[in-house]
Amino acid sequence: MNPTFVEQRNPYLGAAPRAWLRLRFLDPNNAPVELTLIADTGCPYAVIIDVFALSQLTRLSAHPVNSNFGPMTSGWARLSMPAFGIDRDVLCHGSPTIGTAVAIDDPSFMGLVGLPILRLGEYGGNATDFWFRYPPTSTPTSQP
């Protein structure tokens, strides 16, 4: 019997069509905040957003990091997507340049979502859509 899963499926958006997801966070007062983020399967950070947006979500500060986006502030934010069964603190980063950079493709984009979030479930795409499923529909097996 396959477990029931929830899927978010989105058509590509932007001048250069991009895969994206809408993530729901809770601010420190537990008010929901939804962000439309480009799905970047090569990004080693969970979330990179504008510094101001990060300041609105941060529950606990973390050490800043340097990246190919330059210096980034860091903080823990609550990712809360009840339909997916996801409710956890995630380490997010704020970049002063990311908001401007992603908005060039589409003004609704507010940052990037990377592998640490994508690996919570199963993700993929085809010629028209990108999707994220949770929980994963299959379990990887190792080869001898």
Percent pLDDT > 70 in the chain is: 92
Report if residue 85 sits inside a domain: yes
List, in order, residues 6 or more apart from 137 with CB less than 8 Å away.
2, 3, 5, 122
Q: What are the C-alpha distances in Å from 48 to residues 2, 10, 105, 115, 138?
A: 33, 20, 16, 12, 28
Q: Tally Cβ neighbours within 10 Å of residue 135.
A: 15
Report if residue 9 sits inside a domain: no
Give residue 138's pLDDT.
56
Give residue 141's pLDDT.
46
Give residue 135's pLDDT.
76
Give residue 133's pLDDT.
93
Report if residue 14 sits inside a domain: no
Total domain count, the chain: 1
Give residue 139's pLDDT.
52
The domain that holds 78 is classified in CATH as 2.40.70
Burial 84-103 (b: 16+ CB within 10 A, else e): bebeeebbbbbbeebbeebe
Report if residue 10 sits inside a domain: no
Report if residue 23 sits inside a domain: yes
pLDDT (tens, 9 = 90+) of the chain, 144 residues, equals 345 779 999 999 999 999 999 999 999 999 999 999 999 999 999 999 999 999 999 999 999 999 988 999 999 999 999 999 899 999 999 998 998 999 999 999 999 999 999 999 999 999 999 999 987 655 544 444
- Rounded-to-5 percentages of helix, strand, coil across the chain: 15, 45, 40
Find residue 11's DSSP bridge partners. Answer: 129
What mean pLDDT, rounded, does the chain reach? 91
Find residue 23's DSSP bridge partners. Answer: 35
Q: Tally Cβ neighbours within 10 Å of residue 28.
A: 12
Report if residue 75 sits inside a domain: yes
| Residue range(s) defining the domain that contains residue 24 | 19-134
Report if residue 42 sits inside a domain: yes
Distance CA 113, CA 40 (A): 6
In three-state secondary structure terms, 100 is helix
Summarised one tens digit per residue, pLDDT across range 46-82 is 999 999 999 999 999 999 999 988 999 999 999 999 9
Report if residue 67 sits inside a domain: yes
